Structure 1
Amino acid sequence: MSEKFKLVKEYLHDMELAIISENIEEELVVVEDEEKGIKNLIIDCEEPILVLEQVIMKVPPSPTDFFKRLLQMNRNLVHGAFVIDENAEIILFRDTLQLENLDRNELEASIQALSLALSEYGSELLEHVA
Protein backbone atom coordinates (compact mmCIF):
# COMPACT_ATOMS: atom_id res chain seq x y z
CA MET A 1 0.00 0.00 0.00
CA SER A 2 1.49 3.33 -1.06
CA GLU A 3 1.96 6.23 1.31
CA LYS A 4 -0.39 8.35 -0.81
CA PHE A 5 -3.16 5.76 -0.51
CA LYS A 6 -2.64 5.64 3.26
CA LEU A 7 -2.85 9.42 3.36
CA VAL A 8 -6.08 9.45 1.34
CA LYS A 9 -7.62 6.91 3.72
CA GLU A 10 -6.51 9.02 6.68
CA TYR A 11 -8.18 12.09 5.16
CA LEU A 12 -11.40 10.13 4.59
CA HIS A 13 -11.33 8.90 8.17
CA ASP A 14 -10.78 12.49 9.42
CA MET A 15 -13.78 13.60 7.33
CA GLU A 16 -15.84 10.84 8.98
CA LEU A 17 -16.76 9.20 5.70
CA ALA A 18 -17.68 5.54 6.01
CA ILE A 19 -15.41 3.29 3.97
CA ILE A 20 -17.82 0.57 2.92
CA SER A 21 -15.30 -1.42 0.87
CA GLU A 22 -11.72 -1.26 -0.28
CA ASN A 23 -9.32 -2.96 -2.62
CA ILE A 24 -5.81 -2.51 -1.28
CA GLU A 25 -4.14 -3.96 -4.39
CA GLU A 26 -6.00 -1.50 -6.63
CA GLU A 27 -5.67 1.30 -4.04
CA LEU A 28 -9.38 1.95 -4.28
CA VAL A 29 -12.03 2.64 -1.64
CA VAL A 30 -15.78 3.10 -1.75
CA VAL A 31 -17.20 5.59 0.72
CA GLU A 32 -20.54 6.99 1.73
CA ASP A 33 -22.17 9.70 3.78
CA GLU A 34 -25.85 9.33 3.00
CA GLU A 35 -26.79 12.52 4.85
CA LYS A 36 -24.79 14.42 2.25
CA GLY A 37 -25.97 12.32 -0.72
CA ILE A 38 -22.65 10.47 -0.97
CA LYS A 39 -23.43 6.84 -1.84
CA ASN A 40 -20.91 4.39 -3.26
CA LEU A 41 -18.40 7.12 -4.12
CA ILE A 42 -15.37 5.40 -5.63
CA ILE A 43 -12.04 6.96 -4.75
CA ASP A 44 -9.23 5.46 -6.79
CA CYS A 45 -5.50 6.23 -6.52
CA GLU A 46 -4.28 6.05 -10.12
CA GLU A 47 -0.82 7.64 -10.05
CA PRO A 48 -0.44 10.52 -10.71
CA ILE A 49 -4.12 11.32 -10.05
CA LEU A 50 -6.88 10.54 -7.59
CA VAL A 51 -10.16 9.72 -9.34
CA LEU A 52 -13.52 10.27 -7.64
CA GLU A 53 -16.64 8.81 -9.27
CA GLN A 54 -20.20 8.32 -8.13
CA VAL A 55 -22.98 6.84 -10.25
CA ILE A 56 -25.85 9.28 -10.44
CA MET A 57 -28.38 7.56 -12.69
CA LYS A 58 -29.01 5.70 -15.94
CA VAL A 59 -29.11 7.79 -19.09
CA PRO A 60 -32.77 8.49 -19.88
CA PRO A 61 -34.31 7.53 -23.23
CA SER A 62 -33.93 10.27 -25.89
CA PRO A 63 -31.40 12.21 -23.81
CA THR A 64 -30.44 14.97 -26.28
CA ASP A 65 -31.99 17.87 -24.33
CA PHE A 66 -30.96 16.27 -21.06
CA PHE A 67 -27.30 16.14 -22.16
CA LYS A 68 -27.52 19.83 -22.97
CA ARG A 69 -28.87 20.49 -19.48
CA LEU A 70 -26.06 18.44 -17.89
CA LEU A 71 -23.52 20.64 -19.67
CA GLN A 72 -25.29 23.70 -18.32
CA MET A 73 -25.19 22.22 -14.81
CA ASN A 74 -21.47 21.51 -15.20
CA ARG A 75 -20.84 25.19 -15.75
CA ASN A 76 -21.96 25.89 -12.18
CA LEU A 77 -20.15 23.04 -10.43
CA VAL A 78 -17.29 24.07 -8.15
CA HIS A 79 -15.29 20.86 -8.76
CA GLY A 80 -15.84 17.88 -11.01
CA ALA A 81 -18.47 17.34 -13.65
CA PHE A 82 -21.41 15.21 -14.64
CA VAL A 83 -20.17 12.75 -17.27
CA ILE A 84 -21.38 9.66 -19.10
CA ASP A 85 -19.66 6.29 -19.24
CA GLU A 86 -18.08 4.87 -22.41
CA ASN A 87 -21.32 3.15 -23.41
CA ALA A 88 -23.45 6.29 -22.85
CA GLU A 89 -25.62 4.31 -20.40
CA ILE A 90 -24.71 5.77 -17.00
CA ILE A 91 -24.36 9.35 -15.74
CA LEU A 92 -21.68 9.83 -13.12
CA PHE A 93 -20.14 12.63 -11.13
CA ARG A 94 -16.38 12.59 -11.74
CA ASP A 95 -13.49 14.62 -10.43
CA THR A 96 -9.73 14.14 -10.59
CA LEU A 97 -7.10 15.57 -8.27
CA GLN A 98 -3.31 15.50 -8.38
CA LEU A 99 -1.93 13.02 -5.86
CA GLU A 100 1.50 14.62 -5.64
CA ASN A 101 0.40 17.61 -3.54
CA LEU A 102 -3.02 16.44 -2.39
CA ASP A 103 -4.17 17.87 0.91
CA ARG A 104 -7.24 17.21 2.99
CA ASN A 105 -8.91 20.51 2.11
CA GLU A 106 -8.69 19.76 -1.60
CA LEU A 107 -10.17 16.27 -1.21
CA GLU A 108 -12.88 17.56 1.11
CA ALA A 109 -13.76 20.36 -1.32
CA SER A 110 -14.18 17.87 -4.14
CA ILE A 111 -16.48 15.66 -2.07
CA GLN A 112 -18.44 18.68 -0.85
CA ALA A 113 -18.84 19.79 -4.47
CA LEU A 114 -20.56 16.47 -5.20
CA SER A 115 -22.83 16.93 -2.20
CA LEU A 116 -23.65 20.50 -3.26
CA ALA A 117 -24.34 19.42 -6.85
CA LEU A 118 -26.74 16.74 -5.64
CA SER A 119 -28.55 19.11 -3.30
CA GLU A 120 -28.83 21.74 -6.04
CA TYR A 121 -29.70 19.50 -8.98
CA GLY A 122 -30.91 16.24 -7.39
CA SER A 123 -34.63 16.85 -7.84
CA GLU A 124 -34.12 17.95 -11.44
CA LEU A 125 -32.05 14.84 -12.17
CA LEU A 126 -34.70 12.63 -10.58
CA GLU A 127 -37.30 14.00 -13.01
CA HIS A 128 -35.39 12.18 -15.76
CA VAL A 129 -35.04 8.79 -14.07
CA ALA A 130 -36.51 6.17 -16.38
Structure 2
Amino acid sequence: MKTKEDIEGYLIRLELPFEEVEDGLWVIHDDISHVDNIVVLYDPPIVVFRVKLMEVPTQRREEFFELLLRFNATHMIHGAYGIENGNVVIIDTLQAENLDFNEFQASVEALSLAIAQDYDTLAAFRSPTTS
Protein backbone atom coordinates (compact mmCIF):
# COMPACT_ATOMS: atom_id res chain seq x y z
CA MET A 1 0.00 0.00 0.00
CA LYS A 2 1.34 3.38 -0.98
CA THR A 3 1.61 5.84 1.89
CA LYS A 4 0.80 9.51 2.17
CA GLU A 5 4.53 10.16 1.85
CA ASP A 6 4.63 8.21 -1.44
CA ILE A 7 1.81 10.36 -2.83
CA GLU A 8 3.56 13.54 -1.74
CA GLY A 9 6.73 12.25 -3.41
CA TYR A 10 4.79 11.77 -6.64
CA LEU A 11 3.51 15.34 -6.38
CA ILE A 12 7.06 16.61 -5.96
CA ARG A 13 8.19 14.59 -9.00
CA LEU A 14 5.45 16.22 -11.12
CA GLU A 15 7.27 19.54 -10.66
CA LEU A 16 4.01 21.44 -10.43
CA PRO A 17 3.34 23.81 -7.56
CA PHE A 18 1.11 22.26 -4.90
CA GLU A 19 0.15 22.69 -1.29
CA GLU A 20 -1.08 20.32 1.37
CA VAL A 21 -4.29 21.82 2.72
CA GLU A 22 -5.11 18.98 5.12
CA ASP A 23 -3.52 15.70 6.06
CA GLY A 24 -3.60 13.62 2.87
CA LEU A 25 -5.26 16.38 0.81
CA TRP A 26 -3.31 18.44 -1.70
CA VAL A 27 -4.16 21.08 -4.29
CA ILE A 28 -2.09 21.25 -7.47
CA HIS A 29 -1.77 24.75 -8.87
CA ASP A 30 -1.25 23.99 -12.54
CA ASP A 31 -0.73 26.78 -15.07
CA ILE A 32 -3.73 25.70 -17.13
CA SER A 33 -6.00 28.60 -17.93
CA HIS A 34 -9.41 28.53 -16.25
CA VAL A 35 -8.56 25.96 -13.55
CA ASP A 36 -6.24 26.15 -10.58
CA ASN A 37 -7.66 23.49 -8.31
CA ILE A 38 -6.66 19.93 -9.11
CA VAL A 39 -7.33 18.24 -5.78
CA VAL A 40 -5.58 15.01 -4.81
CA LEU A 41 -7.00 13.06 -1.86
CA TYR A 42 -5.22 10.08 -0.35
CA ASP A 43 -8.04 8.01 1.16
CA PRO A 44 -6.80 4.42 1.41
CA PRO A 45 -7.40 2.20 -0.41
CA ILE A 46 -7.85 4.84 -3.16
CA VAL A 47 -6.38 8.09 -4.40
CA VAL A 48 -8.96 10.55 -5.74
CA PHE A 49 -8.23 13.27 -8.29
CA ARG A 50 -10.89 15.97 -8.63
CA VAL A 51 -11.32 19.28 -10.40
CA LYS A 52 -14.24 21.67 -10.03
CA LEU A 53 -14.56 23.04 -13.54
CA MET A 54 -17.57 25.37 -13.44
CA GLU A 55 -21.15 25.74 -12.28
CA VAL A 56 -23.77 23.82 -14.23
CA PRO A 57 -25.31 26.29 -16.68
CA THR A 58 -28.93 27.31 -16.23
CA GLN A 59 -29.78 27.36 -19.94
CA ARG A 60 -29.59 24.65 -22.63
CA ARG A 61 -29.07 22.06 -19.90
CA GLU A 62 -30.15 19.04 -21.92
CA GLU A 63 -27.69 19.91 -24.67
CA PHE A 64 -24.99 20.56 -22.06
CA PHE A 65 -25.52 17.23 -20.28
CA GLU A 66 -25.48 15.38 -23.60
CA LEU A 67 -22.18 17.05 -24.42
CA LEU A 68 -20.71 15.96 -21.08
CA LEU A 69 -21.73 12.38 -21.83
CA ARG A 70 -20.17 12.60 -25.29
CA PHE A 71 -16.95 13.97 -23.79
CA ASN A 72 -16.91 11.09 -21.29
CA ALA A 73 -17.10 8.64 -24.18
CA THR A 74 -14.65 10.33 -26.53
CA HIS A 75 -12.26 12.64 -24.64
CA MET A 76 -11.62 11.13 -21.23
CA ILE A 77 -8.51 8.97 -20.99
CA HIS A 78 -8.85 8.61 -17.22
CA GLY A 79 -11.81 9.58 -15.08
CA ALA A 80 -15.10 11.14 -16.03
CA TYR A 81 -17.11 14.32 -16.00
CA GLY A 82 -19.79 14.48 -13.35
CA ILE A 83 -22.15 16.81 -11.51
CA GLU A 84 -21.63 17.52 -7.81
CA ASN A 85 -23.59 20.11 -5.82
CA GLY A 86 -24.49 22.08 -8.93
CA ASN A 87 -20.94 22.05 -10.29
CA VAL A 88 -19.29 20.27 -13.19
CA VAL A 89 -16.38 18.21 -11.91
CA ILE A 90 -13.84 15.87 -13.40
CA ILE A 91 -12.97 12.98 -11.14
CA ASP A 92 -10.63 10.01 -11.33
CA THR A 93 -9.81 7.34 -8.76
CA LEU A 94 -6.89 4.95 -8.60
CA GLN A 95 -6.14 2.06 -6.29
CA ALA A 96 -3.41 3.08 -3.85
CA GLU A 97 -2.07 -0.41 -3.27
CA ASN A 98 0.08 -0.74 -6.40
CA LEU A 99 0.01 2.85 -7.62
CA ASP A 100 3.17 3.92 -9.39
CA PHE A 101 4.34 7.32 -10.51
CA ASN A 102 3.44 6.72 -14.16
CA GLU A 103 -0.22 6.02 -13.28
CA PHE A 104 -0.32 9.03 -10.95
CA GLN A 105 1.16 11.31 -13.60
CA ALA A 106 -1.19 9.94 -16.28
CA SER A 107 -4.23 10.81 -14.17
CA VAL A 108 -3.07 14.38 -13.57
CA GLU A 109 -2.20 14.81 -17.24
CA ALA A 110 -5.53 13.34 -18.38
CA LEU A 111 -7.42 15.84 -16.22
CA SER A 112 -5.24 18.66 -17.53
CA LEU A 113 -5.81 17.56 -21.12
CA ALA A 114 -9.58 17.36 -20.64
CA ILE A 115 -9.59 20.87 -19.20
CA ALA A 116 -7.47 22.28 -22.01
CA GLN A 117 -9.50 20.48 -24.67
CA ASP A 118 -13.05 20.95 -23.36
CA TYR A 119 -13.26 24.00 -21.10
CA ASP A 120 -13.96 26.65 -23.73
CA THR A 121 -16.70 24.53 -25.32
CA LEU A 122 -18.36 23.89 -21.95
CA ALA A 123 -17.94 27.48 -20.77
CA ALA A 124 -19.82 28.72 -23.84
CA PHE A 125 -22.99 27.34 -22.22
CA ARG A 126 -22.70 29.68 -19.24
CA SER A 127 -24.88 32.73 -18.94
CA PRO A 128 -22.98 35.99 -18.31
CA THR A 129 -23.81 35.84 -14.58
CA THR A 130 -22.73 32.20 -14.06
CA SER A 131 -19.12 31.56 -13.02
TM-score (norm: length of structure 2): 0.87
Q: How does 1:27-106 map to 2 (within 5 A)?
A: 27-35=24-32, 39-62=36-59, 63-76=61-74, 77-85=76-84, 87=85, 89-106=86-103
Structure 1 residue 126 displacement after superposition: 1.5
Tell me which protein shows more strand as a share of its residues. Answer: 1
Per-residue deviation, residues 42-86 of structure 1 (Å, max 9, x unmatched): 11111111011110000001412111110000112100111101x
The code of the aligned residue for 1:118 comes to I
Structure 1 residue 116 displacement after superposition: 1.1
Secondary structure of the structure 1 residue equivalent to 2:3: helix
Aligned Cα root-mean-square deviation (Å): 1.8
Q: How does 1:88-127 map to 2 (within 5 A)?
A: 89-127=86-124
Query: CA, structure 1 residues 38+9, in 2 after alignment: closer, same or farther (shift >3 Å)?
Result: farther
For structure 1, the residue ranges without an aligned partner over 5 or more in a row are none
Q: Is this contact kept in 1: 2:32–2:116, CA < 8 A?
A: no
Q: Is this contact kept in 1: 2:48–2:94, CA < 8 A?
A: yes
Secondary structure of the structure 2 residue equivalent to 1:39: coil
Query: CA, structure 1 residues 59+29, in 2 after alignment: closer, same or farther (shift >3 Å)?
Result: same
Query: CA, structure 1 residues 11+117, in 2 after alignment: closer, same or farther (shift >3 Å)?
Result: same
Size of the aligned set, in residue pairs, is 125
Greater than 2 Å deviation, 4+ residue runs = 35-38
The code of the aligned residue for 2:72 comes to N
Tell me the distance in 1 between the aligned counterparts of 2:79 and 2:33.
Answer: 16
Tell me the distance in 1 between the aligned counterparts of 2:124 and 2:20.
Answer: 30
Higher relative contact order (CA 8 A, sep 6+): 2
